Structure 1
């Protein structure tokens, strides 16, 4: 199978995005599963990989050398993000607001600023029964996981197998960074008014990025027409419907892959994988 990038996303959390991503990865077998939900990665709970590599992710933040600083305030004027403020006897640095753009460092006329690394998270790599595994984790209290996603995207470019990306929930910047350059986007939703509302947000994002997409209805049941009618109106295919079963919820709560405990679900994911690859080839 040639290298492709399939991104699994949803307009909100709790729709079953990770469920779909990990089970699709197990179905396709010779792939990489990449968990880009760096604020709360949980794909490892289901794939149970052997972690082989751990790498810190650092950003550069300014540090003031008061042996050289004259409190001229040029660095404060240069910062577009409010990460620096001038007090009576010092320049205060708010590192959680810093975007590591380097403007303060470049503009300081007295060479009084140096850039120092600050750890914001880490990336792990491993293997799960032949499936390559990558995830990122943002440190508590950090404002954004985008630096971690940038490092993950660099790693994805080096891979030689298909990639299943488990994106963050929602439609914000981290989602955009995780799904960019995707060959196909799989939008996971549930047949409720809230599910439809957030699906619409995700559809608009993917359309703006001009990426091909399909829909999976999770917890399918009596109200599926709510999603099906919307999908028909938008010209998007519903590729799979995962039924709601109590025993599936129990298996999920124990960290089990659904394709390994239910033959019907296994068949659904086999057809889903086949349909996605056919749509990518077109």
Structure 2
């Protein structure tokens, strides 16, 4: 079965019997989660990053923190693979707390694979931070090259070793490969632009199950990642 547990953030609640509407909480908040005007104080919980600063700066002690659910962590198992994943509630903008909770659930022994979202924003930083290795998946197109360059700079700042897998190999041009060579990034695997792979993917079937020749290639990929990991 699948186990589930909620993920909650602490957000402010204002006691209007104590509040003098001085506005210090709103002045402090960098995310505009509080608004004070006249004798009105509003909280926008979806914008709150749960830092607790508003409670600390309130001179009247009029702010308390209450839990607010933003999603859940689910855990399941298939054969020898244990899966832990986070589900953000619809409309919630903050994925970082979910990712952080998922990482807390990871076991220390064995191989842990963290599937990061695309891009280079805060969720990616949280997913990659503290990892032993980052495997960047790109494609040989101008869009792929642009995103790869940004991602490489982020991972450099995090001081995490990295390598590259090229998906849709065979389309586009050679600029992704040239960039990897310039940066000294190891190219660890190429996955071709192949109709059969796409058809299997569309049916939810890992193509290694139907295309046995790919299993040793992914085994070699794992070996190379473990060898290069810090």
TM-score in terms of structure 2 length: 0.93
Which structure has the higher relative contact order (CA within 8 Å, separation 6+)? Answer: 1
TM-score in terms of structure 1 length: 0.77
Provide structure 2 residue ranges, at least 5 long, that are not aligned to the other structure. Answer: none
Cα distance between partner residues in 2 of 1:235 and 1:212: 11
- Correspondence for 2:45 among 92, 95, 112: 95
Cα distance between partner residues in 1 of 2:114 and 2:207: 18
1:161 is aligned to 2:110: yes
SS of aligned partner of 1:256: coil
Q: Is the 8 A contact 2:141 2:171 kept in 1?
A: no
1:222–1:102 Cα change, 3 Å = closer
Structure-to-structure mapping, 1:7-86, within 5 angstroms: 50-51=1-2, 53-86=3-36
Q: Is the 8 A contact 1:191 1:219 kept in 2?
A: yes
Query: How many correspondences in the alignment?
Result: 230
Counterpart position of 2:65: 115
Q: Is the 8 A contact 2:171 2:193 kept in 1?
A: no
Counterpart position of 2:85: 135
Tell me how large the CA RMSD over aligned residues is: 1.7
Q: Is the 8 A contact 2:135 2:163 kept in 1?
A: yes
Cα distance between partner residues in 1 of 2:104 and 2:59: 34
Provide structure 1 residue ranges, at least 5 long, that are not aligned to the other structure. Answer: 1-49
Q: Is the 8 A contact 1:258 1:266 kept in 2?
A: no
SS of aligned partner of 1:159: coil
Q: Is the 8 A contact 1:242 1:265 kept in 2?
A: no
Name which of structure 1's ranges 98-107 and 128-137 shifts more when overlaid on structure 2: 98-107
Counterpart position of 2:76: 126
Instruction: Give the C-alpha shift of residue 155 in structure 1.
Output: 2.1
Q: Is the 8 A contact 2:7 2:72 kept in 1?
A: yes
